């Protein structure tokens, strides 16, 4: 687990001064001339940010214990009761004790780091020593790991506090957002709608302000889909940037953990804490899965290849859209049917806003892509590696610590045989088990087994190069014939498309996600989903009692390890246009509410 210095005193001083977004219901410290007294900073839980909480602590109007207790109260009021969002699996029983310790250290030594007392909800596939890790499945109800995931240790080292575990789509299988441990997660904006997945609980909980920030894992959209449907900023980092140690796998070659937050600046601070080189076998940081780069063998090579900055907050530039070049990929916008039309309209409006802020946004058609010798089918017409790797990777994870103390099951086969999961997932276990066995048993020369092995080999050997090269031809504006960079114009900073091609679906259904979510995991490039705006579902905007407005998400994809550009552009859009709105079903609790 990592141990390193996470902050500079000057950065910390800036954060405590209350820098960052003042959107929503948040309250920042007052300002004035030196001779004018200022009101002490206060903190509202709804939409409250890291900077605002730390400013209130500095001014003595908030303690860490009060902050943690306030979020616990909100979970009791709105997750266990009220709209019953069912987003939180369990609260860390040591959270308040940890808060009191942080208050004591704050009184004597000041803040413990840039995430001082930031209550974080982890998707329940991140290992913690304080709380079991179930992946949403009753089969894993006894999973109590002996240490924290590498990225979780980084959050704690930076001063963060693990508030508890968030619900998810069981074993991170899909986008519905339901598990045998906690049931169906509801959308914070409309509890009759689904939250997306698989990081569904994190999405709903952070949207409803049940914690300050959260984590998700993403194999093929599982951070970005719920972030889109819950109006959040969700970052799927470049592969190998964040260690996968201690994150229950779905497909190790595609998996990555990342932050989910209400603001870009809070996600930048979370990413600071989660990154770093890890020499453990489960890190998945050393394979040469990268555009034009070598394998990572040590911390020096990690720093050289990933270019991790001192802090990602250095790229919080409110004017960052001015001069930016963005390619909107029209074939990824959807088919324009009733379910998709409002998403397209919201993104077109966001494009016009970006242009008004000084960005060049070119809308590329299929014909434009053909000039670059690229088609969207070419980029997305591969299966996910989850079907090939889950059996092997789950067993490897479960075998990584002894079951003597917790009695956890130790193999995919044991989990599958237990039946400790939702009935709808029985067919998935059967399918993944069959393919996994076909890959392991190379003596099986049946046509089906040979075909699965060939598919997986193509995914490993051909897919990364095809997808990465195709994306780079677009980003670099390369002509399809001579392949010279900038042949068709100046290069682009990012690509843009909908995170999800539909609004939130009815509860119990998966959203129409499309295949856009595959571009980042298939290439290893980073992607960020953020709110483009809010819309009222079609047909309900002229009624006396319309349905609640729902978020629409847009995704930005950049070159490998270019998270700074994503943060710069997203922050600029956030600060200029304030696209996020708070849910109405989980308002601020009155002072005397339980």
* Assigned domain for 437 exists: yes
Calculate what percentage of the chain has a pLDDT beyond 90: 84
DSSP code of 233?
E
- Asked about 123 being catalytic, the answer comes back as yes
What integer is the mean pLDDT of 184-193?
A: 98
Residue 196: pLDDT band with limits 50, 70, 90: very high
Mean pLDDT of the chain, nearest integer: 91
* Assigned domain for 409 exists: yes
pLDDT of residue 400: 96
pLDDT of residue 286: 80
pLDDT at 544 over 70: no
Between these two residues, 541 and 367, which has the higher pLDDT value?
A: 367
Residue 14: pLDDT band with limits 50, 70, 90: very low
Which of the residues 123, 165, 186, 193 is marked catalytic?
A: 123
User: Angle formed by the axes of helices 64-74 and 50-58, to 10°?
Assistant: 140
CA–CA dist 352, 349 (Å, integer): 5
pLDDT of residue 485: 67
pLDDT of residue 488: 82
* pLDDT digits 0-9 by tens, 110-125: 999 999 999 999 999 9
Q: Which residues make beta-bridge pairs with 529?
A: 234, 555
pLDDT of residue 520: 97
Range of the domain at 399: 386-461
- Asked about 35 being catalytic, the answer comes back as no
> Are 570 and 350 a contacting pair, CB within 8 Å?
no
The number of distinct structural domains making up the chain is 1
* Assigned domain for 401 exists: yes
pLDDT at 72 over 90: yes
Tokens of 42: 């206060």
* Assigned domain for 216 exists: no
CA–CA dist 540, 43 (Å, integer): 35
pLDDT at 47 over 70: yes
pLDDT at 267 over 90: yes
* pLDDT digits 0-9 by tens, 268-287: 999 999 999 999 989 998 87
CA–CA dist 579, 347 (Å, integer): 11
* pLDDT digits 0-9 by tens, 123-133: 999 999 999 99
DSSP string, 492-524: PSEEEEESSSS-PPBTTS-----SGGGHHHHHT
* pLDDT digits 0-9 by tens, 312-359: 999 999 999 999 999 999 999 998 887 899 999 999 999 999 999 999
* Assigned domain for 438 exists: yes
- Annotate 312-352 with three-state secondary structure: HHHHCCCCCCCCCEEEEEHHHCCCCCHHHHHHHHHHHHHHH
Residue 295: pLDDT band with limits 50, 70, 90: confident
Residue 194: pLDDT band with limits 50, 70, 90: very high
* Assigned domain for 446 exists: yes
Q: How many residues comprise the chain?
A: 594
> Are 115 and 158 a contacting pair, CB within 8 Å?
yes
* pLDDT digits 0-9 by tens, 460-490: 989 999 999 999 999 999 887 666 666 788 9
* pLDDT digits 0-9 by tens, 491-503: 999 999 999 999 9
pLDDT at 9 over 70: no
Phi, psi (5° rounding) for residue 534?
-120, 140
Residue 224: pLDDT band with limits 50, 70, 90: very high
* pLDDT digits 0-9 by tens, 374-411: 999 999 989 999 999 999 999 999 999 999 999 999 99
Query: Closest Cα to residue 293, out of 254, 241, 220, 219?
Result: 241
* Assigned domain for 339 exists: no
Which of the residues 26, 222, 227, 238 is marked catalytic?
A: 222
SS3 327: strand
* Assigned domain for 416 exists: yes
Between these two residues, 30 and 146, which has the higher pLDDT value?
A: 146
- Asked about 222 being catalytic, the answer comes back as yes
What integer is the mean pLDDT of 178-191?
A: 98
* pLDDT digits 0-9 by tens, 249-266: 999 999 999 999 999 999
Residue 539: pLDDT band with limits 50, 70, 90: confident
Between these two residues, 58 and 294, which has the higher pLDDT value?
A: 58
Which of the residues 198, 227, 228, 253 is marked catalytic?
A: 198
pLDDT of residue 136: 98
Residue 292: pLDDT band with limits 50, 70, 90: low
What integer is the mean pLDDT of 428-435?
A: 98
pLDDT of residue 204: 98
pLDDT of residue 337: 86
Q: Is the pTM of this model over 0.85?
A: yes
Residue 104: pLDDT band with limits 50, 70, 90: very high
pLDDT at 156 over 80: yes
pLDDT of residue 27: 33
């Amino acid at each position: 687990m990592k141990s390193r210095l996470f902050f500079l005193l000057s950065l910390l001083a800036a954060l405590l001064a209350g820098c960052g977004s003042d959107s929503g219901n948040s309250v920042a410290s007052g300002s004035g001339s030196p001779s004018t007294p200022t009101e002490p900073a206060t903190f509202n839980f709804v939409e409250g940010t890291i900077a605002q909480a730390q400013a209130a602590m500095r001014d003595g109007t908030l303690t860490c214990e009060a902050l943690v207790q306030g979020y616990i109260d909100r979970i009791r009021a709105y997750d266990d009761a009220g709209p019953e969002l069912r987003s939180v699996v369990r609260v860390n029983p040591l959270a308040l004790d940890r808060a009191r310790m942080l208050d004591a250290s704050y009184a004597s030594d000041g803040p413990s780091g840039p995430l001082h007392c930031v209550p974080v909800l982890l998707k329940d596939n991140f290992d913690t020593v304080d709380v079991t890790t179930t992946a949403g499945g009753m089969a894993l109800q006894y999973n109590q790991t002996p240490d924290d995931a590498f990225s979780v240790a980084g959050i704690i080292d930076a001063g963060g506090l693990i508030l508890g575990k968030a619900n998810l789509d069981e074993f991170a299988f899909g986008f519905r957002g339901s598990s045998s441990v906690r049931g169906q997660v509801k959308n914070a904006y409309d509890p009759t709608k689904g939250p997306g997945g698989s990081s569904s609980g994190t999405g709903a909980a952070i949207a409803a302000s049940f914690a300050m920030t959260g984590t998700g894992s993403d194999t093929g959209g599982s951070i970005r889909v719920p972030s889109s449907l819950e109006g959040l900023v969700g970052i799927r980092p470049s592969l190998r940037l964040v260690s996968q140690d201690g994150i229950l796998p779905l497909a190790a070659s595609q998996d990555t953990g990342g932050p989910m937050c209400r603001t870009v600046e809070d996600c930048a601070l979370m990413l600071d804490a989660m990154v770093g080189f890890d020499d453990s076998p489960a890190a998945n940081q050393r394979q040469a899965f990268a555009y034009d780069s070598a394998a990572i063998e040590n911390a020096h090579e990690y720093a050289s290849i990933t270019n991790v900055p001192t802090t990602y907050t250095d790229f919080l530039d409110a004017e960052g859209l001015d001069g930016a070049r963005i390619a909107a990929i029209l074939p990824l916008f959807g088919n324009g049917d009733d379910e998709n039309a409002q998403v397209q309209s919201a993104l077109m409006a966001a494009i016009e806003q970006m242009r008004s802020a000084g960005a060049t946004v070119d809308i590329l058609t299929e014909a434009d892509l053909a000039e670059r010798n690229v088609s969207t089918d070419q980029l997305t017409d591969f299966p996910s590696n989850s079907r090939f790797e889950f059996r092997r990777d789950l067993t490897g994870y479960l075998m990584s610590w002894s079951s003597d103390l917790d009695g956890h099951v130790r193999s995919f086969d044991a989990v599958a045989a237990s039946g400790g999961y939702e009935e709808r997932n029985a067919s998935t276990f059967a399918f993944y088990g069959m393919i996994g066995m076909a890959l392991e048993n190379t003596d099986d020369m049946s046509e089906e087994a040979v075909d699965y092995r060939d598919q997986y080999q193509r995914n490993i050997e051909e897919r990364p190069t095809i997808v990465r090269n195709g994306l780079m031809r677009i980003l670099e504006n390369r002509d399809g014939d001579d392949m010279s960079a900038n042949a068709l114009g100046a290069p682009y900073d990012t690509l843009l498309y909908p995170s999800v091609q539909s609004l939130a679906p009815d509860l119990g259904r998966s959203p129409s996600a499309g295949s856009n979510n595959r571009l980042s995991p298939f290439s290893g490039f980073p992607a960020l989903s953020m709110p483009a705006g809010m819309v009222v579902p079609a047909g309900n905007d002229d009624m006396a009692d319309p349905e609640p407005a729902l978020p629409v998400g847009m995704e930005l994809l950049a070159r490998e390890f270019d998270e700074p550009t994503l943060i710069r552009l997203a922050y600029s859009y956030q600060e200029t246009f304030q696209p996020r709105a708070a849910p109405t079903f989980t308002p601020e609790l009155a002072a005397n509410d339980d």
